[in-house]
Each structure stands twice: as C-alpha cells, then as structure tokens.
Amino acid sequence: MKNFNFQAGTKILFGKNKINELADEVLNYSNRILITYGQGSVVKSGLLDAVKNKLEEKGIFYKELSGIQPNPRLTSVKEGVQLCKDHNLGFILAVGGGSIIDATKAMAAGFSYDGDPWDFMLRKAVPENPLPLGSILTLAATGSEMNGGAVITNDATEEKLPMGSDLLRPKFSILDPTYTFSVNKYQSASGTVDIMSHIFEQYFTPDSGTEIQDCIAESILKTCIMYGPVVLEEPENYEARANLMWASSLALNGLTVTGKMMGDWSTHMIEHEVSAIYDLTHGVGLAIIFPHWMEYVLNERNAFKFARLGKNVFGIAEESEMDAAHKTIEAIRNFFTSLNMPAQLTEVDIPSDRIKEMGEKACKFGPIGYFKRLNAEAVTEILEMAK
Ligand code: NZQ
Ligand code: ZN
C-alpha cells in the first residue's frame, strides 16, 4: 500500500427530509446564490419549489439557470458564470444529476478566471479560488456529489473533457433517496453501470497490498448487483435507492483508490470520445465498452485480478485463473444485459466510420490507462471490438 492523504471534504446530509437543513448550510457561505438545474425533472417532481421555499424562508436571494443538458455544454457553463458575475452571487446550488453538478463546478471555477473556462479542460489553467458550491442529488451515478471532478462538452469542437480540483468538491451534498424515485429504468440502469465502472477503473490497477480497498470495492459492486435490478422493478423501494445513492458517492470520492498510484480511467476516456460525438448516455457507453476493454487487456499476468473479482463478487470458482477471468467478464456483460443495457455500439445506432478518429482523440494528451497503457491504435482496436 502506498502512502496517501485522504480528505473527502464534502459534508453529506443523507436521508428523508434532509432538505430541511439546506438553508442553514447555504448561509454558511452566502445569502445570494445561483440555483442550477436541468431540463425539467426537478420542476415536475416539485423539488425545485421545495428548494425555493426553504431558501425564501431564510431570506436567501436566488437566481436560476435551467436547461443544463446531459453531457453538459460549455455554453451553459459560460451562462452560469455570467449570471454569478452580473448579480454578485456568492454560492451555486446544483439540483440534479451529475451533469448539473459538473456544469456547476465549471461555473464555480470560471467565476474566478478571466479566460475561457474551456482552458481548464485543455489543461491550460487550474481552478483557483472558485465560488463555493453545494448539491442536491437526484440520480445515483457519477459520484460528482462528493468529488472534485467535472466533465464538460464543447459542441463546437465535438470534445468532451474532464477537469478536476479538490477545491471543486461540493461543500455539502443532500442525498435524499426519495428524490431518485422518479428516475426512469434507462437512467437507473445507466447509473448503476456508471457506479460499477468507477469501481472497475480503480480496482484494475497494477498496485498490490491494497486488500482493504479491494474488499470495499467488491462490496460496492455486490451492492449494485443486488439493488440495480430491484430499482428497475420497484422504483420507490427506499432501501434499494438509498444503497445505490450511497454507493454512487463512495465509488468515486477517492476512497477505493487510496494507497494506489491512481485509477486506470481509459474506459472513461474512450467513452467520453463516443458521447462527445454521439451524445450517448455516459453509463450506456460504459456498459458497451467496459467488457471489451477487459477482454483486450486480459493477459496471463493480470488474470488473477479478474479471477479474484469473479470469485468474490459472482461466486465463480474455476481452477484456471484464465478461465475464471473469462467467466468473470462474461458475468459482467450478462449483468449489464440483464439491466437492458446494450453490448455493442450498433445497438445504439453508432456507426463505425469515425472509430479511428475517436481512438486518436482519446490519446490527444498521450497514451491512456494505468492497468495497461493504450495508444491510439489500441483504443481503435477496442472500439472495433465494440462496434
Ligand atoms: O435534465 P433533467 O430534466 O433533470 O433530467 C435528467 C437527465 O435527462 C434525468 N434525471 C435526473 N434526475 C432525475 C431525472 N429524471 C427523473 N427523476 C430524477 N430524479 O436523468 C437524465 C440524465 O441526467 P445526468 O445528470 O446527465 O446523469 P448523470 O448523473 O448520469 O450524469 C452524467 C454526466 O456526468 C459525467 C458524465 O460524463 C456525464 O456527462 N460524469 C461525471 C463524473 C464526475 N464528475 O465525477 C464522473 C463520471 O464518470 C462521469 O463521467
Ligand atoms: Zn463514469
């Protein structure tokens, strides 16, 4: 196990009616805020009205920015920055899924930066002194509610790139599982795949001596496998929604990568290239690409890690590590399929004519991956397997 510092700076307010604590939390930072949300789910569910009531009760001034899209766009980020500047706002509250929280983080960073916020994605600038932000999560998936990462799409260049800073961790996040009751089957399944993928990215690394981290990772996977199918059939099952919601945060708040050099993240980088061009739902892209990545990187030296996952998570007991590894990948693909997720790009009408371009773009800053380094040709091969 390598040395590490771990500080998951976000205060989590978990459970029913935790919104009652919202206004006091906000007032720790400002009494003039921007509320950000998406394309209507929080209006329809009544959550937005509840938020406004809570703020008004304590005399908090707010402006609103609506219409943030899944795969959030740079244009929304710029709009948010302008609103904060024009109205002298001191805090941003994201109400929604990962896309809303991500856009909010980029706004918070952009507020204190004179240049184009896209510079953060191009690695030309790092966030300094961002506006504080908080979130009310409505979809269990990305972990954005408890980490400092954000992924933004630039329509003009067909790029989708990450940025990150500990300074962008939400100051607090309200996790009330009842807010996820209205998430449809497709997004619930996609969110479950995303949580599991975050675990895979940090489980499949060349590090050793991280038994505690790997056991936590396996528990989170088992939780997803137990409750993912339940929420598709019983969307208002509180315990299932609650377990997935906490799994979302724990899977990507830095916990399971402690003591390791870093995560692999190549599957995410590849998926981002696909959704940058085709506006695919993130978890759906991961459901397609991850099993192909696993088949591509599997070799005699790393088969033991796949076999370990298979044994501890799926109960696979093969004598040969290689046979167990193959069975494990098959079990993961079958689980995704059982959630009605596709297994190939053609199933979501993505043609193969731009695969080489996506391979090159995924490696625009150099080879990707830590479990196995991948160059543009390797990424192209994985996408060819996935087509
Ligand atoms: O826009 P609205 O109307 O709110 O509808 C959304 C959207 O259509 C809907 N939804 C959200 N909560 C709902 C709901 N519908 C009914 N009831 C509710 N309670 O779900 C749709 C998808 O929302 P979105 O926020 O896009 O989903 P998700 O949370 O999966 O976020 C995906 C984005 O996060 C990025 C992805 O790349 C993608 O852009 N990621 C961010 C990460 C991070 N910051 O750490 C890591 C992830 O790996 C990921 O890359
Ligand atoms: Zn993800």
Summarize pLDDT for 217-234 with one digit per residue, the tens: 999 999 999 999 999 999
Are 170 and 290 within one domain?
no
Instruction: Return the pLDDT at 346.
Output: 98
Answer yes or no: is 6 within a domain: no
Are 105 and 156 within one domain?
yes
Answer yes or no: is 2 within a domain: no
Answer yes or no: is 136 within a domain: yes
Question: What domain count does the chain have?
Answer: 2
In the sheet that 133-137 helps form, which strands lie side by side, from edge to edge?
11-14, 172-175, 133-137, 91-96, 32-36, 61-65
Instruction: Return the pLDDT at 257.
Output: 98
Nearest-atom index, ligand 1, CA of 147: 45
Are 175 and 213 within one domain?
no
- Asked whether residue 360 carries a pLDDT value surpassing 90, the answer given is yes
pLDDT in tens, 110-128: 999 999 999 999 999 999 9
pLDDT in tens, 132-184: 999 999 999 999 999 999 999 999 999 999 999 999 999 999 999 999 999 99
Instruction: Return the pLDDT at 97.
Output: 98
Sign for the pseudo-dihedral over CA of 340, 344, 347, 348: positive
CATH number of 116's domain: 3.40.50.1970
Band of residue 319 on the pLDDT scale cut at 50, 70, 90: confident
Instruction: Return the pLDDT at 161.
Output: 95
Residue 249 Cβ contacting ligand 1 at under 6 Å: no
Are 202 and 150 within one domain?
no
**What span, in angstroms and rounded, lies between the C-alpha atoms of 245 and 187?**
13
With beta carbons less than 8 A apart as the criterion, state whether 331 and 314 touch: yes
Residue 117 Cβ contacting ligand 1 at under 6 Å: no
- Asked whether residue 107 carries a pLDDT value surpassing 90, the answer given is yes
- The residue whose C-alpha atom lies closest to atom 22 belonging to ligand 1 is 70
Q: Considering the chain, what is the average pLDDT of its residues?
A: 97
Instruction: Return the pLDDT at 92.
Output: 98
**Ligand lying nearest the CA atom of residue 71:** 1
Instruction: Return the pLDDT at 318.
Output: 85
Answer yes or no: is 35 within a domain: yes
Are 104 and 220 within one domain?
no
Are 344 and 218 within one domain?
yes
Please list, in sequence order, all residues whose beta carbon lies within 8 angstroms of the beta carbon of residue 378, skipping any fewer than 6 positions away: 296, 359
Residue 105 Cβ contacting ligand 1 at under 6 Å: no
User: How much is the average pLDDT of 195-209?
Assistant: 98
User: How much is the average pLDDT of 27-54?
Assistant: 98
Are 348 and 303 within one domain?
yes
- The residue whose C-alpha atom lies closest to atom 25 belonging to ligand 1 is 97
Structural domain for 340, as ranges: 184-386
Are 136 and 204 within one domain?
no
User: How much is the average pLDDT of 17-37?
Assistant: 98
Nearest-atom index, ligand 1, CA of 182: 17
CATH number of 336's domain: 1.20.1090.10
Please list, in sequence order, all residues whose beta carbon lies within 8 angstroms of the beta carbon of residue 61, skipping any fewer than 6 positions away: 31, 32, 33
206 Cα: distance to centroid of ligand 1 (angstroms): 30
Residue 191 Cβ contacting ligand 1 at under 6 Å: yes
**What span, in angstroms and rounded, lies between the C-alpha atoms of 35 and 191?**
23
Residue 102 Cβ contacting ligand 1 at under 6 Å: yes
Residue 333 Cβ contacting ligand 1 at under 6 Å: no
Residue 253 Cβ contacting ligand 1 at under 6 Å: no
